A and B are shown apart, each in its own frame.
Chain A
Amino acid sequence: MADALPKNTLDDPGADNTNLIEATQIMARNIRRYALIGIHHAGSGHPGGSLSCADMLACLGTGELQGYGPDVPDTDRDRLILSKGHAAPALYGLGVEAGFLKAADMATLRQLGSPLQGHPHVGALPWVETSTGSLGQGASVAVGMALGLRHQDNTHRVYAILGDGELQEGQIWEAAMGAAHYQLSNLCFLIDYNKLQSDAPNAEIMGLEPLTDKWRAFGWHTQILDGHVITDLYAALNQARAETEKPSVLICNTVKGKGVSYMEHAPEWHGSVKLTDAQTAAALEGLGLGHTDRLAWLKGEIHGSA
């Protein structure tokens, strides 16, 4: 897929990035649509955290990852790990956009026999790179992949998307220490900092602040940005790639439920929920999907939405 997509050339002042930005925005919109229809048909799933990381997934999938997918040899591709595995519907949305899944597969999410497991499983879908779903674990696997690639003199990069509540896991900080110790500049974490976790705001459950100071103190090249502004995401990814001595972290300020008006800032959409026909239709309408398509999608006849 990547060949057909525009590359991230935001660090080239002479380049016209209009196509890149447009393509990324369309992918982000489609990821949101697919995630929502998948959760609708599954009867359960996490819409809030899937929507908040859709833009960063779209940037990685459109302009950033160099080689991606099941058919690219181990030696020739960047890695993307969704450490916040409960956002699997968004990752599967990226999979549809990338051509690894069919749009219709989204109707099988969380169903018996489907490769679209409730949380990403590399045994079912090789392109998800590792199995996640227990918070903290994807971070260490990403560190191991970055270390393993460097051990073999391979210059490909490793990206991992982490949740904010996930940062309460001690394993994250073990991984942070390890990556800094080994100066893994080929590693980039993107934190989906939507400020809310399963039961309540982070600050109420177990405060994370001062978060930037924590990552800097752990020896990481740390950037803070709006995780929904495509140009900011690409600019930060470019800076991360230019770093040669430290692992990079992008603290992406995001909105849980982003892109669905009635979900944004509404705590009841943060955990695993059912999405009714009406709720799903309203969300898809807000994401620009036409009436006829909406009816078909709700019936399980999901087709490409480009």
Chain B
Amino acid sequence: MAAPEQIGSSGDTLREAFGRALAACGERYRELVVLDGDVAGGTGAHHFRTAYPDRFYQMGIAEQNMMGVAAGMAASGLIPVVTTFAVFALRSFEQARLSVAYANRNVKIVVSHPGLDVGPDGGSAQAIEDLAAFRALPGMTVLSPADPYEVQLATEAMLAHQGPVYMRTGRSPAPRLFQDDHRFEIGRGQILVPGRHVTIIGCGVEVSRCLAAGDLLKAKGIEAEIINMPTIKPIDAALIRASAEKTGAVVTAEDHSIIGGLGSAVAETLATSVPCPVEFVGVTDRFGESGEPEALAQAYGLSAPHIERAALRALERKVEAPHAA
């Protein structure tokens, strides 16, 4: 697959794709209600507000209460979707833990503004810990789709799924990677580009950078297998193992801390089954800062050349590994 063409405008963000998909699901899911913490313009939820004003609940700038209210509404037979920014979902994390996950409520938590992709708002707004936190909650499904179309499919799958879900969208314009034949299933990743030398697994906005890194490697004669992993939990262990058995070297890439997110989920899978060199592309135990997303990606090691270099490191370690295939 060729590197994606950036078609970005403010209308081509993952958050807008989510908002449109949510509104489109309103007719099919009559129990669907949407909760907002005064950020509907930023999360995409404004589409649902316009379409279904009587099913849109403004909860004010009070995320702890919003999360608990969603749990109570779910207990009353509704399907509440909590919409906020990723950092504010962290603010209500303990409510998500007890009132939602422990009580096993059918609440969907959908966040925009994850990672360095937030850009100019700076470190205070750039949640790089959310995948780690929500992944640790028993029973919580964690999604991070990669392009506007996959966001639409993931929104539909999330609503069809019974149980709590945490899903990342994204703030910045995102390239369209997938065509109409793309399929999304919770718990399943896909090989976007088959390869045999090294596996590169990405989620969210990093997937397009993984594809670009694959092109850079191809120019060096290295065939990278590029995998899109939109479900962080439950992780697609079978796909990860099969690819690692084939390539013997793995790179993960995510707009998130390298602690606890996609990379950790992949490493946990491989450590107990197919041990092999793994390199982690992500934010290294530090907070972000203001800047445009692409500039931040370069400054913080998330860009395609960074993924390429990580792949070369993994390949180098594979050669050195005494038990390498």
| A contact residues vs B (CB 8 Å cutoff) | 74-75, 121-123, 129-134, 136-137, 139-149, 151-152, 154, 170-171, 174-175, 177-178, 181
- Name the CB-closest residue of B to A75: B77
- Please tell me if the beta carbons of A139 and B77 are within 8 angstroms of each other in the complex: no
The reply on B78 being an interface residue by CB < 8 A is yes
- Please tell me if the beta carbons of A131 and B95 are within 8 angstroms of each other in the complex: no
- Name the CB-closest residue of A to B69: A144
Which 5 residue pairs of A and B lie closest in terms of their CB atoms, listed nearest first?
A: A144-B72, A140-B68, A148-B76, A174-B65, A144-B69
Tier of interface size on chain B: 20 to 34
* Extra pairs beyond A141-B75, A152-B77, A170-B64 (6, CB < 8 Å): A123-B104, A130-B103, A140-B95, A148-B76, A171-B68, A177-B62
The reply on B70 being an interface residue by CB < 8 A is yes
Q: Is the interface of A mostly helix, strand, loop or mixed?
A: helix
Q: 28 interchain pairs (CB within 8 A)?
A: A74-B76, A121-B102, A122-B103, A123-B102, A123-B103, A130-B71, A130-B99, A134-B94, A134-B98, A136-B64, A137-B98, A139-B68, A140-B64, A141-B75, A143-B72, A144-B68, A144-B69, A145-B73, A145-B75, A147-B76, A148-B76, A148-B78, A151-B73, A151-B78, A171-B65, A175-B65, A178-B65, A178-B69
Q: How far is the CB of B77 from chain A (nearest CB, A)?
A: 6
Question: In the complex, A137→B63 CA distance in Å?
Answer: 12
For residue B57, which residues in chain A have a CB less than 8 angstroms away from its CB? 147
Using A134-B94, A151-B33 as known contacts, say yes or no to A143 and B77 having CB atoms under 8 A apart. no
The reply on B53 being an interface residue by CB < 8 A is no
Question: In the complex, A133→B103 CA distance in Å?
Answer: 12
- Name the CB-closest residue of B to A141: B72
- Please tell me if the beta carbons of B64 and A148 are within 8 angstroms of each other in the complex: no
The reply on B67 being an interface residue by CB < 8 A is yes
Using A131-B99, A137-B95 as known contacts, say yes or no to A148 and B60 having CB atoms under 8 A apart. no
In chain B, positions 250-303 with a C-beta closer than 8 Å to chain A are none
- Please tell me if the beta carbons of B73 and A137 are within 8 angstroms of each other in the complex: no
For residue A177, which residues in chain B have a CB less than 8 angstroms away from its CB? 60, 62, 65
Q: How far is the CB of B102 from chain A (nearest CB, A)?
A: 5
Question: In the complex, A139→B95 CA distance in Å?
Answer: 11
For residue A147, which residues in chain B have a CB less than 8 angstroms away from its CB? 57, 69, 72-73, 76
For residue A137, which residues in chain B have a CB less than 8 angstroms away from its CB? 68, 94-95, 98-99
In chain B, positions 190-219 with a C-beta closer than 8 Å to chain A are none
- Please tell me if the beta carbons of B62 and A144 are within 8 angstroms of each other in the complex: no
Q: How far is the CB of B72 from chain A (nearest CB, A)?
A: 2
The reply on B51 being an interface residue by CB < 8 A is no
Q: How far is the CB of A11 from chain B (nearest CB, A)?
A: 27
The reply on B90 being an interface residue by CB < 8 A is no
- Name the CB-closest residue of A to B73: A148
User: Which has the most chain A C-beta neighbours within 10 Å: B70, B80, B98?
Assistant: B98
Using A121-B102, A148-B78 as known contacts, say yes or no to A141 and B62 having CB atoms under 8 A apart. no
Using A133-B98, A137-B95 as known contacts, say yes or no to A143 and B69 having CB atoms under 8 A apart. yes
The reply on B59 being an interface residue by CB < 8 A is yes
Using A137-B95, A152-B76, A181-B60 as known contacts, say yes or no to A143 and B102 having CB atoms under 8 A apart. no
Interface string of B100-122 (1 = CB under 8 A from A): 00111000000000000000000
User: Which has the most chain A C-beta neighbours within 10 Å: B72, B94, B99?
Assistant: B72
- Please tell me if the beta carbons of A130 and B69 are within 8 angstroms of each other in the complex: no
For residue A133, which residues in chain B have a CB less than 8 angstroms away from its CB? 98
Q: Which of B64, B77, B102 contacts A131 (CB 8 A)?
A: B102
Q: How far is the CB of B138 from chain A (nearest CB, A)?
A: 10
Question: In the complex, A145→B78 CA distance in Å?
Answer: 10
Q: How far is the CB of A134 from chain B (nearest CB, A)?
A: 5
- Please tell me if the beta carbons of A145 and B98 are within 8 angstroms of each other in the complex: no
Interface string of B68-96 (1 = CB under 8 A from A): 11111111111010000000000000110
- Name the CB-closest residue of A to B76: A148
- Name the CB-closest residue of A to B54: A151
